[in-house]
Amino acid sequence: MHKRYYLIGLAGLMILIVGYHFYAASQAEQQLDEAIQKQAQQHGNISAQYSSIDVTPFAADITVNDWTVIFNNHIQRANRLSFDISYLDVLNIYFGGLKYGLKNLTELNLSAIRPSYTISSGIQEVKSDTLTLSYQGNALDLIQQLTDSTNRSTNHNIKATFSGFTTVLPGNSRSSIKARHMQYQASIPPDRPLSLFNIAHQISAQNIVWSPTSSQQQKYSFIIKGLGYPTDTIPFKSFNISTSPTKKSRLKAINWILQSELALISSSGFLQTYRPIGNSAFQDTRITITDLSPSFQKTLENIETLFSFSLPKTKKGIQIPLQGTIADPSISLDN
């Protein structure tokens, strides 16, 4: 008889625990919904829309469906956003409120289905089929840096992996870059203003296709066709770039490597940063071209003959100084 009562009591306790977790998940969904709408109302030029917020009992996973945020001319969308945080983090939000929960949130994993970011005024878009992102730092600290540009004391590290990545470059003439896989890493140092120029960036991409603008296709048609490519589809095997701040506040070190079937192209040097970023100027930067394929070697020889100049060659390969700005780069062919 006592055993029977014990089993009934245990079953009742299990039902109570399960019921509590479902109730807590429901309350967390409501709190998140209210917090998002409150933040949007406090900033009148922000609109946040979604079809539902789901918090999984026990697992503490948060899923937002049909996510759209509009801030002035900036639009963020995703079919689904999933946040993977610890159960303790969910309890912190539930019992202490959103601000307390974010203050104690130091690790976060996010996945997204068909995320996109669009700047409508400049006709610029970044999107992908999938995104997985991991974050380490302090969530509240990062949000406050983003909203009020105040220096904070936390180091933030972000790693994002994309599949089916596409970026449409700004301008009226559509130019796009696509990559089957891309990875991005960023380290945001403490006690410095949050700026694109103060962040150490690393980007790597594989299986890339560049679609130039129509004017670029017409201007360089004879070169592109001479390399055996359609003018609107230029493939590359991989691309890697890293940038890092220097002791001089506006001077950034920049290094990149571009691998194609034709050659290995690399560059190292510095970038004197200005706003807008297109006005940033190259300093002590040199492009090096090595591992030329026979067809590319022949094309370069034809170009040298046609335009009556010689590319500066060294034992390390063809080396060309890069000058000008990001928006208007130029090269020097003086030996």
What is the rounded CA–CA span in Å between residue 287 and residue 322?
6
What is the rounded CA–CA span in Å between residue 84 and residue 135?
11
- Contacts of residue 330, defined as CB under 8 A and 6 or more positions apart, other chains included, come to 322, 323, 324
pLDDT of residue 207: 95
- Of the listed ranges 159-173, 201-215, 234-248, the least confidently predicted one is 159-173
- Of the listed ranges 112-121, 140-149, 289-298, the least confidently predicted one is 140-149
What is the rounded CA–CA span in Å between residue 58 and residue 159?
26
pLDDT of residue 17: 44
Q: What is the rounded average pLDDT of the residues 249-253?
A: 84
Place 172 in a pLDDT band, splitting at 50, 70 and 90. Answer: low
What is the rounded CA–CA span in Å between residue 67 and residue 73?
16
SS3 97: coil
Q: What percent of the chain has pLDDT over 90?
A: 25
What is the rounded CA–CA span in Å between residue 253 and residue 268?
8
Is the pLDDT at 240 greater than 90? The verdict is yes
What is the rounded CA–CA span in Å between residue 31 and residue 21?
15
**Is residue 98 within 8 Å of residue 123, measured between CB atoms?**
no
User: φ and ψ at 80, to 5 degrees?
Assistant: -155, 135
pLDDT of residue 165: 95
- Unique residue bearing structure tokens 């002590």: 284
For 63-115, the pLDDT digits (tens) are: 888 988 888 888 889 999 888 877 777 777 767 777 787 788 888 899 999 99
Residue type, 241: I
Cis status of the peptide bond prior to 276, with omega within 30 of 0: yes
What is the rounded CA–CA span in Å between residue 61 and residue 55?
6
Place 31 in a pLDDT band, splitting at 50, 70 and 90. Answer: low
The more confidently predicted of residues 95 and 117 is: 117
Number of separate domains in the chain? 1
Place 192 in a pLDDT band, splitting at 50, 70 and 90. Answer: low
Residue 276 inside a domain? The answer is yes
Q: What is the rounded average pLDDT of the residues 148-171?
A: 80
DSSP per-residue string spanning 224-287? HHHTT--TT-EEEEEEEEEEEE-SSTTEEEEEEEEE-SS-EEEEEEEEE--SSGGG-EEEEEEE
SS3 308: coil
Q: What is the dihedral of CA 208, 209, 211, 212, to 10 degrees?
A: 60
pLDDT of residue 231: 87
For 198-207, the pLDDT digits (tens) are: 788 899 999 9
Tokens of 185: 């890493």
**Is residue 266 within 8 Å of residue 287, measured between CB atoms?**
yes
pLDDT of residue 10: 45
Domain range for 315: 262-335
pLDDT of residue 39: 63
pLDDT of residue 5: 46
Q: What is the rounded average pLDDT of the residues 186-212?
A: 82
pLDDT of residue 302: 83
Neighbours of 274 (CB within 10 A): 14
User: φ and ψ at 275, to 5 degrees?
Assistant: -110, 135
Is the pLDDT at 217 greater than 80? The verdict is yes
Is 150 exposed, middle or buried (CB count within 10 Å of its CB: 0-12, 13-18, 19+)? exposed
Tokens of 57: 């009992």
Residue 45 inside a domain? The answer is no
Alpha-carbon Rg for the chain, nearest whole angstrom, is 26
**Length of the chain, in residues:** 335
Tokens of 194: 């949050």
